Amino acid sequence: MLLTLTVNGREVSRNVEPRTLLVEFLRDGLGLTGTHIGCDTTQCGACTVHLAGRAVKSCTVLAAQAGGAEVTTIEGLSGDGLHPMQQAFIDHHGLQCGFCTPGMIMACVALAHEDPDMTEAQARERLVGNICRCTGYNGIVAALMDGAKRMAGDV
């Protein structure tokens, strides 16, 4: 089937098998390898992207479901320079091995848009769907809270 959608601001069309997952389409079809494959069961969140403005785990979304929609990956998150959330992750040491980082940042950007004034407890609760096996989450939570303020223009 012919699939047409907008990825990182650019319209793309590719022939895909109907059962192709969005993560496979992005990585194999478009070469956007910043979206990682971790578990294929929505447990880890390494594959998180934005689909029509919402954070989704692309390992359980069929590429066909994204037809006609806007998809943003970590590669398309910022234009020139770093996105405020990316800079917050650097500043607060919210990454270590880097495997979960792209999906974690994409989830955090969506969370920051939903509630830029979340408390630390709310931030921890909302990150439950994204797993990091390296950092212990303190840096990630600090990055989320600071990145949310930066995105809102409060810093």
Report pLDDT for 7: 98
Mean pLDDT computed over every residue of the chain: 95
- Determine the average pLDDT of the residues in 53-78: 96
pLDDT tens readout for residues 88-100: 999 999 999 999 9
- Determine the average pLDDT of the residues in 137-147: 96
Higher-confidence residue: 153 or 12? 12
Q: What confidence category does residue 104 fall into, taking pLDDT thresholds of 50, 70 and 90?
A: very high
Q: Are 22 and 58 in contact (CB under 8 A)?
A: yes
| pLDDT tops 90 at residue 86 | yes
SS (H, E, C) the chain: CEEEEEECCEEEEEECCCCCEHHHHHHHHCCCCCCCCCCCCCCCCCCEEEECCEEEEHHHCEHHHHCCCEEECHHHCCCCCCCHHHHHHHHCCCCCCCCCHHHHHHHHHHHHHHCCCCCHHHHHHHHHHCCCCCCCCHHHHHHHHHHHHHHHCCC
Report pLDDT for 155: 67
- Determine the average pLDDT of the residues in 4-9: 98
Report pLDDT for 142: 97
Reference 108, options 139, 140, 82, 134; nearest CA is 140
The pTM for the full model equals 0.95
Report pLDDT for 42: 86
**CA-angle at 128, arms to 46 and 24, nearest 5°:** 20
Which domains occur in the chain, in start order?
2-76 (3.10.20.30), 84-152 (1.10.150.120)
| pLDDT tops 80 at residue 78 | yes
Report pLDDT for 56: 97
